[in-house]
Amino acid sequence: MNEAMVLHNTLELGKDVIAFLDTRVGRYLIEQQQRDEREAVEALLAFDPYAFDTHSKLLVALLKLQENATLARKVNGYLHDAILNANQAEALIDNQEE
């Protein structure tokens, strides 16, 4: 696949993501991601490290908190990256056409 095709596909993906985010499903996923992220922060703030009787149990609990926070951000990150990449592709396409 040549560079022009890659740029075009990247731009189209970004447009698709923007359109998707304006659908009920897209809005639902973003709302759920935001809820999950809030819950992960609340769990971290309520975390009591002294409630664990061993270092390994504490470590497992901390890793689970970290995993929950990371998962909550992944979907939004993928969508955001697609939009940013599309913006960059559009700029490159515009520069090539000039």
For the stretch 56-95, pLDDT in tens is 999 999 999 999 888 878 888 999 999 999 999 999 998 8
pLDDT value of residue 82: 96
For the stretch 18-63, pLDDT in tens is 999 999 999 999 999 999 989 988 998 999 999 999 999 999 999 9
pTM of the complete model: 0.74
Hey, what long-range contacts does 10-14 have (CB within 8 A, 24 or more apart)?
A: 10/85, 10/86, 10/88, 10/89, 11/86, 11/89, 11/90, 11/93, 12/86, 13/82, 13/85, 13/86, 14/82, 14/83, 14/84, 14/85, 14/86, 14/87, 14/89, 14/90
pLDDT of 4 higher than 90: no
